[in-house]
Amino acid sequence: MAYPKIGFGVLIAICAAIATSLTIDFPVSLIAPPALAQTTQARKAEADKLIEQGDRQYYTSQYKAALQSYQEALQIYREIKDRFGESNSLKNLGNVYYRLGQNQKAIDYYTQSLGISRDLGDRKGISRSLHNLGLVYSSLGQYQKAIDFYTQSLAIFREIGDRDGESNSLGNLGNAYKRLGQDQKSIDYHTQSLTIAREIGDRKGVSIPLHNLGLVYSSLGQYQKAIDFYTQSLTIAREVGNRQGEGITLSSIGSLLAKQNQPELAIVFYQQSVNVIEAVRRDLKGLPKEQQQSYTDSFASIYRNLAVLLLKQDRILEAQRVLDLLKVQER
């Protein structure tokens, strides 16, 4: 059967008619609705602000509040599928649980953060999680394992030029080597950490190696040198509002004074330390009792050292009251 020939002009007219009648539906995923993009940006901004808020709370030892801020941020980052934000939130939650003495929880969060950072190829995120895992294993007494993590993190921090991270890793290597009885190596690492912290203007970062150098010199019997480092550290901790650092340094001074056979003065510093720790504990009300107790247990030696000194001064009732503080009451 022969089909009639269609002229070129008629063909053009037919194609035009077909084109005007067609509606092409593009997949939704190819074109993001403006409203959806704006909502995602707004939610990310909200989560970022929660992280900043959590950081302020964390650095001033408001751990309960910091937990809430970081958990809310984590939920938002997961909703909008922001994996960088998710990894950072997990790391920050690990930091809080580490401070609360919840070591296994801290390891779980750091490990999750590390996994995401590796998936993303985020070198900074990888190094921070490795460093933080070192902190937990050091607190568990596994110092060689901690050194392995710190060494890995230090190498990456140096590769990417993260001087703050480099300073932290050096300082914690110093802590681990002190625990292993290698005092000179510890001093070398803490001195490097202190130098970098001063160069980058990190006040909190300066106070930590100052305190740690005080610890090493105290163990070496160089008490005046230790007191000088402690005093500098305490001043800065108070200036920057680092309550936990303040409480620890006060107890270190108390310990040194006790070694120098100055029990009355040692008691004064230990009491100040306990007062600071108690102020932090009051902010933990409302957290599960287990978390309150693990935080308290982290500082139990300070309470017990104070109680021993009080007992030696026949201040028995005061000593009992101090020991009673170690019990976390039902809230």
CATH number at residue 314: 1.25.40.10
The answer on 231 and 269 residing in a single domain is no
Asked if the structure places residue 289 within a domain, the reply is no
Q: For residue 32, what pLDDT is reported?
A: 52
Q: How many domains does the chain have?
A: 3
Asked if the structure places residue 19 within a domain, the reply is no
Q: For residue 173, what pLDDT is reported?
A: 98
The answer on 46 and 118 residing in a single domain is yes
Helix 123-139 × helix 103-120 angle, to 10° = 160
Question: Which tokens belong to 40?
Answer: 């995602």
The answer on 226 and 248 residing in a single domain is no
Asked if the structure places residue 288 within a domain, the reply is no
The answer on 316 and 263 residing in a single domain is yes
The answer on 210 and 130 residing in a single domain is no
The answer on 255 and 305 residing in a single domain is yes
Asked if the structure places residue 142 within a domain, the reply is no
Q: For residue 166, what pLDDT is reported?
A: 98
Asked if the structure places residue 105 within a domain, the reply is yes
The answer on 208 and 132 residing in a single domain is no
In angstroms, what CA-CA distances link 162 with 67, 76, 117, 195, 197? Answer: 26, 28, 16, 14, 12
Which residues constitute the domain of residue 315?
A: 242-279+301-331
Task: Choose the final residue of a domain: 237, 267, 292.
Answer: 237
Asked if the structure places residue 14 within a domain, the reply is no
Asked if the structure places residue 157 within a domain, the reply is no
Contacts of 85 (CB under 8 A, 6+ apart): 44, 47, 48, 51, 73, 76, 77
Cβ–Cβ contacts within 10 Å for residue 92, how many?
24
Task: Choose the final residue of a domain: 103, 137, 171.
Answer: 137
The answer on 182 and 114 residing in a single domain is no
Task: Choose the final residue of a domain: 182, 207, 237.
Answer: 237
Q: How does pLDDT run along the chain (331 residues), one tens digit per residue?
A: 444 454 545 444 444 444 444 444 434 444 456 666 779 999 999 999 999 999 999 999 899 999 999 999 999 999 999 999 999 999 999 999 999 999 999 999 999 999 999 999 999 999 999 999 999 999 999 999 999 999 999 999 999 999 999 999 999 999 999 999 999 999 999 999 999 999 999 998 999 999 999 999 999 999 999 999 999 999 999 999 999 999 999 999 999 999 999 999 999 999 999 999 999 999 998 899 899 999 999 999 999 999 999 999 999 999 999 999 998 654 3
